Amino acid sequence: MKKKLIAGNWKMNGSLTANDALVRALVTGGAGKGCLVAVCVPAPYLAQVQSLTAGTGIDLGAQDVSQHEVGAFTGEASSAMLRDFGVRYCLVGHSERRQYHGETDAAVAAKAQRALAAGITPVVCVGETLAEREAGLTEEVVKRQLAAVIHTNGHCISEIVVAYEPVWAIGTGKTASTEQAQQVHAVLRTQLRAATPHADKMHILYGGSMNAANAAQLLSQADIDGGLVGGAALKPADFLAIIAAAQ
Ligand code: PGA
């Protein structure tokens, strides 16, 4: 059976001291020994967390990557640079990037392509806003977002991870019900099956207020292969409990 993947998204949180304590607590708690575990850290801490996680089974992730290969793009980091620090996963198209940085579906698809070219697994985030859900547009929105990535990366689409994160559930304490989440995951799986014979081996993560209390039920659903965890990933006991629920 496919191992589940639990990825922490630290967002813009952390410090040298706090990261050290957090990663050491995760290692002591056995993270990385059962299911797949990754931490997606702010770029300045990649080197620190690379050395903290070396040999532990915890994989290193980044939170964004440039859609460009190299050159005059002040402030950006290329996929080759991330690769230099042993980055295994990279979030692309997180709703905060789409919302605050105007990332379009085309830009997200180009970022996924750059990551893949560098041997990094893009974790492609899709999800509807509350207004879109209330207007009955959930399926249309997530299918459009994923279709852009499939269109650009069709030949290696089985190498990506998909994360379904309803925007209204991120950081709000509101979680999609297991039925709501599973329903969208099934839609995404069907879309992937049309694009690749390997869709059933791929990971589709749920994200949005996943916590120690709701993880087991969400992770028991047929098409929920792991979690993308924000707030709870900063608390070792909570993140370890989610990991335990995944193994
Ligand atoms: P949350 O964030 O778990 O704090 O809701 C998830 C995410 O944004 O990836």
Q: What is the Cα–Cα distance from 205 to 162, expressed in whole angstroms?
A: 6
Q: Where are the domains of the chain?
A: 5-11+18-65+76-246
Confidence of residue 173 (pLDDT cuts 50, 70, 90): confident
Active site residues: 94, 165
What is the share, in percent, of the chain residues with pLDDT greater than 90?
94
* Burial annotation 140-159 (CB, 10 A radius, 16+ → b, else e): ebbbebbebbbebbeeebeb
- 5-11+18-65+76-246 falls under which CATH superfamily? Aldolase class I (3.20.20.70)
- pLDDT at 185 exceeding the cut of 90: yes
The per-residue pLDDT for 175 is 84
The per-residue pLDDT for 4 is 98
Cα 207 to middle of ligand 1, angstroms = 6
Cα 41 to middle of ligand 1, angstroms = 13
Task: Confirm whether pTM is higher than 0.85.
Answer: yes
The per-residue pLDDT for 174 is 85
Q: Which residues pair with 37 in a beta bridge?
A: 6, 58
Three-state DSSP class for residue 167: helix
Helix locations, the chain, DSSP H: 16-28, 46-53, 79-84, 95-100, 105-117, 130-134, 138-153, 178-195, 215-219, 236-245
Q: Give mean pLDDT, residues 144-154.
A: 95
| Average pLDDT for the chain | 97
Ligand 1 pocket by C-beta < 6 Å: which residues? 9, 165, 170-171, 207-210, 228-232
